[in-house]
Amino acid sequence: MQDYSFSMAMDVRDYECDIQGIVNNGVYQNYLEHVRHEYLKQIGIDFAEYARNGINFVVVRAELDYKLPLTSGDRFVVGLNMQRESRVRFAFYQDIFRTSDKKPVLKAKIIGTALNLRGRPSIPAELDELLS
């Protein structure tokens, strides 16, 4: 595993698995999103407060490479690094590893932006400063 700006351990819950006994592919996006929100809170970006003020953080692209399925009861870690992609876009590079053997489960690149009150891409000053 590489170094991450932020990481979080989680557990697979039974109801996240499909009929094959593995985590449903869409659930991984929930894991990734939860960790992104926790990271933003940690660095002082209150996602909910921005939304209440009309600034909406949105995903504009998601690239997910599935490597190995998780199953019920598996413990895993989601690692995250964030960087600026352009003037109005940022990327979260996220990896999921199974804790028991450190095997890679998923590799993701999630590109996002913030939409201002007019619905136009615009990075808020506080986030812009953190990305500089």
Active-site positions read 18
Query: What is the rounded distance in angstroms from the CA atom of residue 64 to the CA atom of residue 41?
Result: 23
Measured distance CA(37)–CA(129) in Å, rounded: 18
**Contact between 66 and 23 (Cβ < 8 Å):** no
Element of type H or E holding 127: helix 125-131
